[in-house]
Structure 1
Amino acid sequence: MTTQLRLALGTLLLALCLPLSAQDNLTAEPEVTIREDGDRIIEEYRMNGFLYAIKITPPSGAPYFLVAVDEEGNFARADQVQQGLRIPSWKVFEW
């Protein structure tokens, strides 16, 4: 009985610790990659590997942002996206 209880407690502790170690890999700050494309500067903003925004600074004029509108890799200018709340849509389960 004592061995089974220890095994059950050990399994429970292991199950509780696994989600914490998986969350350690997630970063709280975005990764920013800056590169030049011809005469303009492109800054790519990623969070946990997902590209969610691109800032383009042309040689003349104001910089503008492209933001992800879906998970398919489609982007739209931030000033042309319909004003309002963008609701995040994360995949919770997939099989």
Structure 2
Amino acid sequence: MTRRKSEITARMNERDYPHIVELPVPPGGFRAADDMLAFHRERDIQIRRGQGRNYDGQSYVHYCFADAVDADAFRNQFGGARLTVRQPIR
């Protein structure tokens, strides 16, 4: 599958915004979606989602941040786990 030049992909988000919070998706989806949107608006940052994953029947979504402070605040408010993405050697 190809992408348009201007399209931002989940992999690009994880590369460019390396501070990631992984949240398990609850049955029925996120009820706190409005709170998550408000969190990003209060800090004047755009919502960036990463690749996510499935493990043992549980789906996880990745929220990506440029700043570690924002990622920690998000994790403290909504739970989940902080992940560190290993940067490629150039």
TM-score of the pair, normalised by structure 2 = 0.27
The structure with more radius of gyration: 1
Higher helix share: 2
TM-score of the pair, normalised by structure 1 = 0.26
Highest RCO, 1 vs 2 (Cα 8 Å, sep ≥ 6): 2
Higher strand share: 1
